[in-house]
């Protein structure tokens, strides 16, 4: 497995030049495009690493499925999915059109920005700090990393320039989708997106999903089976933005990418994979990261299809 | 003329029950739906009044053509229309779709909310107070009413609930259309919309447009000819929200309505008309107000077509 | 007047190189881009000509307001406008989006392709030939030219390549907007668009609109006053495709353009103007044709605003 | 297994009244809403039947993944997916909007009507009959049923009323997506949709997909492994129209529904399932059919997630 992982990373390195760090969040634009790392954690707790696997980066949209689980713990499934849909969308992750043309104004799913912002407004807590701490604790539990926290510079950068997300949040507030104060929800969302993690962390979280809720290092249940299955479904149908269909064909794994350059992929009953490379394609997915996953999926026949 | 104006108001009174005060701004929802007033000011300074013509109400979107003139005084025409288009739209006044689907993200025209908010961001002044005072002074000059000011309760109400306008403004900020700080621009916009006026005030402003810039009471030029013509054009093609086409067929006058219940109409070279009745139709136009204008247009053959 | 017309044409000649003949109908692509002609017919029957005013071209969309009048003669106004709206649109002339997003699926106005095709389906006659002859006779009456007919080559070219119009017609048939057989309606529409006319013909029709229905050469009423006013309104709000707003600002006349290169403009109570030059801009309007009208409007102060 | 299948059908019978046969194709509206059948074929060739499993119905959209395979055999994968995308869409199956708003005008995926019509235009053959016979032969091979053919009445009904599909096809022809003659492609598409099958037939086809291309009755390879995996991916992300996301969460199987009331579901490496009940929900999926699958998936833990 170690050899194959090394091969995958070596193969992916050829595509590093095709990606470009996210430019719309100033702090992310500074990332070194040559970074590339990967980690595998099996459901039995074995670990394999390669490249810049210890380099930390911000979690960004990879946080969406995890925040969804917390919102589902805090609310009934009916409530959550009456306000955020379950359907994939052919629109971009930050598109606002569907909010106006859909009769209910509800965002199509929890993996696009609008849906993820709404989801954050359903997380319980008497103020934003309490909610944030609950979120951080849940991420720490799933990643088996008690030191996880958010990056203040990235948070400030996102908050100062997040006009499109502010537009989405205000639109949903007007439509009665969003709970609470708009700026409070956005603060929580931007802080959540700014959580610093590395390849091992997301591989560990992915392994919890792979084993339907069991931590690979403690063998304890850290998440309900039902929720892990549910988010894996969303990761297949809409985890890779509007390239999810193509990714399903080429890789065939539940996965979630973030504009920080990370991708979290899960192989049911077998392992979790975390990859990282800041260079993104036009749809916002890490170019070299996807190549690592493509290589692993083909070589190890990992596709669920 | 006085008799005909009385007839028009009497006729329109039959339609009072068909309208409903704007509900989306809490303060406006309190308006008495039975109010109905009208005022005519001729280019020679003659005045005719009927009904609740002295009752004051908030100007809302009727302010848009006037704010546009100020922005054009402060900037080149090329600059303004490179950021806000000149085309009518079949979409609702608060629609956000076209901002995403149009290549340039620029709002289609200065009479829809998105366009009017962008226009306010082009008004010069070293801070929001200075800008507001410049705006208020310009409204006072055109209306020959030095005491015009904004209503603090309505302003607060709009500011607290203006999520859709906040969405539009943030979307345009993201797209590089809006100048300056989003919340500052919105403060100016909400205060502008909250200016208190009455039928006589808007009739007077309309007369300035009718006479291509000359005040009917002082005979002095208070606005450039070119700008008065330009805004009259916008008033024909998009002054009555997405009912502008039907209004052009039925009434045939440059006009601008506001959700406060007012409509300002101008009869080129002859007179300005101000009407007010808080009951709106589904598109946001005063039901009885339009009936007054329909009656006057038919009876006096006022249509420009 | 003759001198001013010559000046206008000379001025417009400088812009010939900026336009390109319509490429999407193969027959139109063959047009000589250097052609430029103009004709004025006053309501008193005086005529002024310049350039290639006798050169014939196909009427294309200039036929839309005239076909609308015939449909209004054949049906109640209520019926027609329950199926085709009255509102301008910011979308392109051949856009299909609004047909799906509008609740009623009705086209926004009779000047865009969808609306004009629907309008043709309301024209009465026991078969397509009868309908076509009624249309041709009406065009002959208004243009005072008994020999008007359609160009078979252009008709064939449009019919063979008119896939977008076929899409619009079938979409409206599905939505219950279109009457009768889709292909029959399209045959009528394509033949109507292929009517051959010249600058003098459209200037004459425009003069009938200018005089509210009186032929300038016979002094007889050839059209109801109400309908002439109605179509002039549509010509202002949506006669120049999605450049209507800008044209209203710059020229300020009711006008209708066609991709054949013609523009018909009407100066209420004074005259009709017909211009022709095949080079179009990106929105489908004749570049030099608009320049002739801009010059005339400015020089003679013709704007209705 | 037989018992569980019976239980599933008995359970689903409770929901029969919630569905309504497709009304937009007149022939389909005549279907008996009380019909309900199911068939299972395992990869080892075992068969289990329940209810109206022998009742034949028209295949409709269930044909889409199969026609896609034939088009992929006839053309390079690059060619096919340069003209039809791989992405799920939140729009309805017959939506035309994305064709206009997407830069390339290509339909988002081969499972929506626009995509499936385009796919049919890529199938090789010197005329429509040859193409149809190739299609029929491929369906016969996969279903192990040499007598499959299309229903002439349903074909006529679809062809006479298929205005929306005609709109889609003409739009794509205009955009250069569709190959060949529009009416010929539509004839092939309507005939393909009219193929008569029963639950056993679609269960058999589904089993071929489950076993990656091996016929359960002959043990011969009847389809390339790669293509079976590819279509299973599309079935997960967009097989159940714009309810695919919710179906993935609730059932978690690659599936394709048709408005004839059938659903084809495949359980990788284990079995194919065919269900049939004409009553549809608002999104076009068989209500009782989905209940059978939900029951089986839960009871037998079939979800791939």
Report the C-alpha gap between A279 and D273 in whole angstroms.
Answer: 43
Exposure pattern of D127-145 as b/e (b: 16+ CB <10 Å)? ebeebbebbbebbbbbbbe
Residues of C in contact with D167 (CB under 8 A): 96, 166-171, 174
Q: Would the pLDDT of A104 be above 80?
A: no
Report the C-alpha gap between C112 and C194 in whole angstroms.
Answer: 17
Which of C184, C164, C185 minimizes the C-alpha distance to C259?
Answer: C164
Q: Would the pLDDT of C103 be above 90?
A: no
The residue ranking higher by pLDDT, A237 or D128, is D128
Write the burial class of residue A244 (CB in 10 Å: 0-12 exposed, 13-18 middle, 19+ buried).
Answer: buried
How near does any CA of chain B get to the CA of C213, in Å? Answer: 13
Task: Please count the CA atoms within 13 angstroms of the CA of B287 that sit on its side-chain side.
Answer: 17
Q: Stretch D219-236: mean pLDDT, rounded? A: 95
Task: Please count the CA atoms within 13 angstroms of the CA of C230 that sit on its side-chain side.
Answer: 25
**pLDDT at residue A92, rounded to an integer:** 65
- Output DSSP code: residue B105: -
**pLDDT at residue D165, rounded to an integer:** 95
**pLDDT at residue B23, rounded to an integer:** 84
Contact partners, residue A30, CB within 8 Å, separation at least 6: A21
Facing residue for B108 by CB, picked from C90, C108, C238: C90
Provide the angle, in degrees to the nearest 10, between the axes of the packed helices C199-210 and C128-143: 80
Q: Would the pLDDT of A102 be above 90?
A: no
Residues of C in contact with D97 (CB under 8 A): 96-97, 100-101
The answer to whether the Cβ–Cβ distance between D88 and A86 falls below 8 Å is no
Report the C-alpha gap between A141 and A222 in whole angstroms.
Answer: 7
Contact partners, residue B181, CB within 8 Å, separation at least 6: none
- Output DSSP code: residue A15: T
**pLDDT at residue C89, rounded to an integer:** 73
Q: What would the two tokens of residue C72 be?
A: 């209004």
Q: Would the pLDDT of D97 be above 80?
A: no
**pLDDT at residue B90, rounded to an integer:** 63
Q: Which secondary structure element, helix H or strand E, spans residue B48, and what is its range?
A: strand B47-51
- CB atoms under 10 Å from CB of C136, counted, come to 17
**pLDDT at residue B27, rounded to an integer:** 83
**pLDDT at residue D305, rounded to an integer:** 85
Write the burial class of residue A78 (CB in 10 Å: 0-12 exposed, 13-18 middle, 19+ buried).
Answer: exposed
Mean per-residue pLDDT of chain D: 94
**pLDDT at residue B102, rounded to an integer:** 63
| Polymer length in residues for chain D | 305
Hey, which residues does C51 pair with through a beta bridge?
C37
Q: Which secondary structure element, helix H or strand E, spans residue B152, and what is its range?
A: helix B152-161
Using 50 as the pLDDT threshold, list the residues of chain B that sit under it: none
Q: Would the pLDDT of A93 be above 80?
A: no
Task: Say which of C189, C194, C200, C295 is annotated catalytic.
Answer: C189
Report the C-alpha gap between C113 and D96 in whole angstroms.
Answer: 17
**pLDDT at residue C106, rounded to an integer:** 85
Residues of B in contact with C268 (CB under 8 A): 304-305
The residue ranking higher by pLDDT, A20 or B28, is A20
State the chains in contact with A (3 or more Cβ–Cβ pairs under 8 Å).
B, D
Residue of C nearest to B267 (CA): C305
Mutate which: A100, A107, A161, A178, vs B, most B CBs within 10 A:
A100
Domains of chain D: 2-60+195-300 (3.40.710.10), 63-193 (3.40.710.10)
Which of A52, A165, A66 minimizes the C-alpha distance to A107?
Answer: A165
- DSSP assignment of D71-113: HHHHS-HHHHHHHS-----SS-TT--HHHHHSTT---S-TTSH
Q: How confident is the model at residue C159 (pLDDT cuts 50, 70, 90)?
A: very high
Cβ–Cβ < 8 Å for D36, D276: yes
Residues of A in contact with D102 (CB under 8 A): 90
Report the C-alpha gap between B167 and A167 in whole angstroms.
Answer: 4
Is C189 in the active site? yes
- Catalytic residues of D, by residue number, are 61, 64, 189, 241, 259
Facing residue for B90 by CB, picked from C89, C243, C244: C89
Contact partners, residue D3, CB within 8 Å, separation at least 6: none
Backbone angles phi, psi at A165, to 5 degrees: -65, -35
The answer to whether the Cβ–Cβ distance between A248 and D254 falls below 8 Å is no
Q: Which residues of C touch D (CB under 8 A)?
A: 95-97, 99-101, 163-164, 166-171, 173-174, 182
A204-258 per-position pLDDT tens digit: 999 999 999 999 999 999 999 999 999 999 999 889 988 888 999 999 999 999 9
**pLDDT at residue D136, rounded to an integer:** 98
Report the C-alpha gap between D248 and C55 in whole angstroms.
Answer: 64
Which of D65, D37, D57 minimizes the C-alpha distance to D151?
Answer: D57
Is C11 in the active site? no
Exposure pattern of B86-120 as b/e (b: 16+ CB <10 Å)? bbbbbbbbbbbbbbbebeebbbbbbbbbbbbbbbb
Q: Would the pLDDT of D16 be above 70?
A: yes
As a whole-number percent, the residues of chain D with pLDDT over 70 amount to 95
**pLDDT at residue A189, rounded to an integer:** 98
Task: Say which of B61, B194, B211, B297 is annotated catalytic.
Answer: B61
Q: Stretch C18-38: mean pLDDT, rounded? A: 90
Facing residue for A167 by CB, picked from B97, B101, B170: B170
**pLDDT at residue B88, rounded to an integer:** 82
Q: Would the pLDDT of D98 be above 90?
A: no
Cβ–Cβ < 8 Å for D288, D15: yes
Cβ–Cβ < 8 Å for C59, C230: no
The answer to whether the Cβ–Cβ distance between D100 and C96 falls below 8 Å is yes
Nearest 5°: the CA angle A149, A150, A156 is 160
How near does any CA of chain A get to the CA of D147, in Å? Answer: 30
Q: Chain-centre distance of CA B143, in angstroms?
A: 13
Q: How confident is the model at residue C24 (pLDDT cuts 50, 70, 90)?
A: confident
Residue with tokens 């495009």: A33
Q: Which secondary structure element, helix H or strand E, spans residue A29, and what is its range?
A: helix A26-29
Report the C-alpha gap between C166 and C185 in whole angstroms.
Answer: 10
As a whole-number percent, the residues of chain A with pLDDT over 90 amount to 86
Cβ–Cβ < 8 Å for A88, D238: yes
**pLDDT at residue B24, rounded to an integer:** 77
Cβ–Cβ < 8 Å for C208, C228: yes
How near does any CA of chain D get to the CA of A115, in Å? Answer: 14
The answer to whether the Cβ–Cβ distance between D87 and A229 falls below 8 Å is no
The answer to whether the Cβ–Cβ distance between D236 and A246 falls below 8 Å is no
Report the range of poorest mean pLDDT among A63-67, A70-74, B89-93, D202-206.
B89-93
Strands (E), chain D: 37-42, 47-51, 57-58, 196-197, 255-257, 262-267, 271-276
Cβ–Cβ < 8 Å for C15, C272: no
Q: Chain-centre distance of CA A151, in angstroms?
A: 16
Residues of D in contact with A90 (CB under 8 A): 85, 87-91, 98, 102, 108
Which of C300, C200, C204 minimizes the C-alpha distance to C252?
Answer: C300
The residue ranking higher by pLDDT, D58 or B22, is D58
**pLDDT at residue B124, rounded to an integer:** 98
Cβ–Cβ < 8 Å for A221, A214: yes
**pLDDT at residue D106, rounded to an integer:** 85
Facing residue for C229 by CB, picked from B91, B243, B303: B303
What is the bridge-based pairing of β-strands D196-197 and B255-257? unpaired
Q: Would the pLDDT of C240 be above 80?
A: yes
- Output DSSP code: residue D39: E
Cβ–Cβ < 8 Å for D257, D240: yes
- Output DSSP code: residue B126: S
- CB atoms under 10 Å from CB of B47, counted, come to 18
Q: Stretch A129-148: mean pLDDT, rounded? A: 98
Q: How confident is the model at residue A98 (pLDDT cuts 50, 70, 90)?
A: low
The answer to whether the Cβ–Cβ distance between A170 and B174 falls below 8 Å is no
Contact partners, residue D7, CB within 8 Å, separation at least 6: D295, D299
Task: Please state the pTM of the whole predicted model.
Answer: 0.91
D174-204 per-position pLDDT tens digit: 999 999 999 999 999 999 999 999 999 999 9
Residues of A in contact with D248 (CB under 8 A): 233, 236-237
Report the C-alpha gap between D2 and D40 in whole angstroms.
Answer: 9
State the chains in contact with D (3 or more Cβ–Cβ pairs under 8 Å).
A, C
Residues of C in contact with D163 (CB under 8 A): 170-171, 173-174, 182
Residue of B nearest to C91 (CA): B89
The residue ranking higher by pLDDT, C91 or C148, is C148
- DSSP assignment of chain C: -HHHHHHHHHHHHTTGGG-B---SSHHHHTS-TT--EEEEEETTS-EEEEESTT--EE-GGGHHHHHHHHHHHHS-HHHHHHHS-----SS-TT--HHHHHSTT---S-TTSHHHHHHHHTT---SSHHHHHHHHHHHHHHHHT-TT--B-HHHHHHHHHH-HHHHHHHHHHHHTT-S-S-HHHHHHHHHHHHTBEE-HHHHHHHHHHHHTTSB-TTT--B-S-HHHHHHHHHHHHHHTTGGGHHHHHHHT-S-EEE-TTSEEEEEETTTEEEEEE---B-TTS-BHHHHHHHHHHHHHHT----
Q: What would the two tokens of residue B121 be?
A: 């961001």
Residue with tokens 């808007």: B202
Q: Stretch D253-281: mean pLDDT, rounded? A: 97
**pLDDT at residue B101, rounded to an integer:** 65
Residues of C in contact with B237 (CB under 8 A): 88, 236-237, 244-245, 248
Q: Would the pLDDT of C277 be above 90?
A: yes
**pLDDT at residue A25, rounded to an integer:** 81
How near does any CA of chain C get to the CA of D116, in Å? Answer: 17
Q: How confident is the model at residue A301 (pLDDT cuts 50, 70, 90)?
A: very high
The answer to whether the Cβ–Cβ distance between B305 and C243 falls below 8 Å is no
Mean per-residue pLDDT of chain C: 94
Q: Chain-centre distance of CA D78, in angstroms?
A: 23
The answer to whether the Cβ–Cβ distance between B89 and C86 falls below 8 Å is no
As a whole-number percent, the residues of chain C with pLDDT over 90 amount to 86
Facing residue for D87 by CB, picked from A86, A102, A245: A245
Provide the angle, in degrees to the nearest 10, between the axes of the packed helices A63-74 and A225-238: 140
The answer to whether the Cβ–Cβ distance between A167 and B168 falls below 8 Å is yes
Q: Chain-centre distance of CA B33, in angstroms?
A: 20
Mutate which: C81, C96, C211, C233, vs B, most B CBs within 10 A:
C233
Cβ–Cβ < 8 Å for D110, D234: yes
Cβ–Cβ < 8 Å for D213, D206: no
Residues of D in contact with A229 (CB under 8 A): 252, 303, 305
Q: Would the pLDDT of C91 be above 70?
A: no
Kindly provide the ipTM of the predicted complex, given to two decimals.
0.91
Q: Stretch D220-241: mean pLDDT, rounded? A: 94
């Amino acid at each position: 497995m170690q050899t194959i992982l090394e091969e995958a990373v070596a193969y992916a390195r050829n595509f590093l030049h095709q990606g470009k760090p996210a430019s719309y969040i100033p702090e992310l634009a500074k990332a070194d495009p040559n970074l590339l790392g990967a980690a595998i954690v099996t459901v039995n707790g074995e670990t394999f690493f390669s490249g810049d696997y210890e380099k930390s980066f911000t979690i960004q949209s990879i946080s969406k499925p995890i925040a969804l689980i917390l919102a589902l713990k805090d609310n009934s499934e009916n409530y959550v999915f009456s306000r955020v849909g379950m359907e994939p969308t052919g629109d971009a992750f930050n598109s606002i059109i569907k909010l106006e043309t859909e009769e209910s104004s509800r965002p199509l799913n929890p993996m696009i920005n609008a849906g993820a912002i709404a989801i954050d407004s359903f997380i319980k807590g008497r103020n934003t700090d309490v909610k944030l701490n609950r979120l951080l604790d849940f991420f720490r539990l799933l990643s088996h990393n008690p030191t996880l926290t958010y990056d203040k510079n990235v948070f400030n950068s996102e908050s100062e320039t997040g006009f499109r997300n502010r537009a989405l949040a205000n639109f949903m507030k007007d439509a009665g989708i969003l709970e609470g104060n708009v700026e409070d929800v956005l603060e929580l969302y931007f802080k959540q997106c700014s959580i610093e993690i590395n390849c091992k962390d997301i591989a560990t979280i992915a392994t919890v999903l792979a084993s339907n809720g069991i931590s690979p290092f403690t063998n304890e249940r850290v998440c309900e089976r039902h929720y892990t299955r549910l988010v894996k479904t969303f990761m297949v149908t809409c985890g890779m933005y509007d390239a999810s269909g193509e990714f399903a064909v080429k890789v065939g794994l539940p996965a979630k990418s973030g504009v920080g350059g990370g991708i979290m992929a899960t192989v049911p009953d077998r392992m979790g994979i975390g990859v990282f490379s800041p260079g993104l394609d036009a749809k916002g997915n890490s170019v070299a990261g996807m190549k690592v996953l493509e290589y692993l999926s083909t070589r190890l026949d990992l596709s669920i299809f």
